[in-house]
Amino acid sequence: MSARVIHVCNIGKRYQIGQRERYQSLRDAIMKTVAAPLRWSKRLIEKATLGDGSTAQTIWALRDVNFDVKAGEVVGVVGRNGAGKSTLLKVLSRITEPTEGRIELHGRVGSLLEVGTGFHPELTGRENIYLNGAILGMSKAEITRKFDEIVAFAEVERFLDTVVKHYSSGMYMRLAFGVAAHLDPDILLVDEVLAVGDMSFQKKCLGKMEQVAKTGRTVLLVSHNMGAIRGLCQRALMIEAGQLVADGPPDEVINKYLGASGEAGFDLSNGQASADPLVFTKVLLRNRQGETTTEFKPGDSLTVEIHFHAHERIEQPHFWIGILSQYGPLLSASQLFDGHRPDHVEGSGRIRCTFHSLPLVPQTYTLRIGARAANGATPIVPTQEAGFFSVSGRMRDFGLLSENADSLAWESAPVLIPYTWHMPDGLEIKVHAFTRSGTTS
């Protein structure tokens, strides 16, 4: 039986609205220790007078969170923006202190929370590798030993002696992740860093995470990429409004997070504020026969049916649908780029988009949807996760690849993806677009 390496007991983190959390000096730490008995008494009085300690000026980012992680487990953390996921990792990383509760960590901890923290724009790439490595807890000897591997991973050999302020944002992020990814901790805490760089580099990052997971290290991964959570993790946690509401196999937790309910589709009614002018209420995925399903074969057609409710008349909204693989954005269908959109929407309705004969390799894909105003710049509904589906089977069995080409990723070259928008008024708009990495043309 694996030993427990992370123990989280009744953790709570309360913030004062409008107040910044300041860094502590050695003097602060000593005074805090001396004042501990008085602080304990004050908390008892607060609890007696205020109940849970909440006021109009405070917010609980985390409350009563309990879980254990065993050595070698890879655990995904999912939840909507603002749910408390990043706060949880910051508490575990000792970046911020919990307001209440207890944490036990057994082993060296490495954190990939904000890639690039500690880089100095006036230093060269070479100098920043040593600086950033030291900040992340690596010794000089360890950095020197891994230096060539870090540089090769980041693909910045030619620019090592150039100051990083002249780097592109992609080069900067690749180098930063290259350093962070070569930590050698017992426990690795990762917060949405798999979305850095272009698609090929994201794929490399995911491969590095898979490699770390296979070495028996313990990993806690926060990500909005459900494909990555399902592909990498043996277990998942769901945080909602600062509380742990699900803990179990990734499929079950992701189903709960996305509101999946079998043939009823993905329920999105609780994911948006009712005050928004338009809300998405449900998403259905249909195969070529019109059946609702989340299981597809290579070459199947996929119809995404979005149900919505407009609280007011909205003129010429632009709807957007995106499909993500484990490695990042894969393709999209956007009425903004296609130049076709409903004349207006009002009340309850639905809009559908059918992707025809998708040459998708077997894996899990995440669906994202959004809507913008007629000007194309103002979001009506922010982009959000809306479901997922799986593709299984060998591509060569469907005449899509040669006998020995199953391992090829089709996104390595542009693919002609025809798709059709089915408008609320019954009009159908067919689009034939070269689509790759979330772009249309």
Per residue in 318-328, pLDDT (tens digit) is 999 988 876 66
> What's the pLDDT at 437?
39
> What's the pLDDT at 364?
79
Average pLDDT over residues 169-197: 77
CB burial of 294-322 (b: ≥16 within 10 Å; e: otherwise) equals: bebbbbbbbbbbbbbbbeeebeebbbbbb
CA of 258: how far to CAs of 90, 249, 251, 266, 367, in Å? 25, 14, 11, 6, 10
Confidence band, pLDDT 50/70/90 cuts, at residue 29: low
* Separation of alpha carbons 334 and 102, rounded Å: 47
Q: What is the CA radius of gyration of the chain?
A: 24
Burial of 435 (0-12, 13-18, 19+ CB in 10 A): buried
Of 56-70, 84-98, 390-404, which gets the smallest average pLDDT? 390-404
Q: Measured on CA atoms in the order 283, 320, 314, 345, is the torsion positive or negative?
A: negative
Q: What token pair was written down for 150?
A: 């870090």
What lies within 8 Å, CB to CB, of 354 at 6+ separation is: 301, 302, 303, 304, 419, 420, 422
* Separation of alpha carbons 439 and 332, rounded Å: 6
- Indicate the DSSP class of residue 163: B
Confidence band, pLDDT 50/70/90 cuts, at residue 62: very high
Residue, of 145 and 227, whose pLDDT is higher: 145
* Separation of alpha carbons 199 and 9, rounded Å: 38
Q: Across the beta sheet with 302-315, what order do the strands follow?
A: 266-267, 278-286, 302-315, 344-355, 415-422, 428-435
Average pLDDT over residues 191-220: 74
Per residue in 386-439, pLDDT (tens digit) is 888 888 776 555 554 444 443 334 343 445 578 888 877 666 666 655 444 333
CB burial of 261-293 (b: ≥16 within 10 Å; e: otherwise) equals: eeeebbbbeebbeeebebbbbbbbbbbeeeeeb
pLDDT at 171 over 90: no
Average pLDDT over residues 203-213: 76
pLDDT at 69 over 90: yes
pLDDT at 209 over 90: no
Q: Which residue type does 410 have?
A: W
> What's the pLDDT at 50?
47
What lies within 8 Å, CB to CB, of 263 at 6+ separation is: 292
Q: What H or E segment, with its residue span, contains residue 39?
A: helix 36-50
Confidence band, pLDDT 50/70/90 cuts, at residue 362: confident
- Is residue 312 within 8 Å of residue 376, measured between CB atoms? no
Confidence band, pLDDT 50/70/90 cuts, at residue 34: low
> What's the pLDDT at 147?
93
> What's the pLDDT at 237?
95
* Separation of alpha carbons 32 and 284, rounded Å: 55
Confidence band, pLDDT 50/70/90 cuts, at residue 236: very high
> What's the pLDDT at 154?
86
Average pLDDT over residues 78-86: 85
pLDDT at 224 over 50: yes
* Separation of alpha carbons 227 and 387, rounded Å: 11
Confidence band, pLDDT 50/70/90 cuts, at residue 283: very high
Per residue in 6-24, pLDDT (tens digit) is 999 999 999 887 655 555 5
> What's the pLDDT at 188?
84
* Separation of alpha carbons 364 and 345, rounded Å: 32
Which residue segments constitute the domains of the chain, with CATH numbers given? 261-398+412-435 (2.70.50.60)
**Percent of the chain topping pLDDT 70:** 75
Secondary structure class of 166 (helix, strand, coil) = helix
What's this model's pTM, rounded to 2 decimal places? 0.66
Average pLDDT over residues 290-304: 87
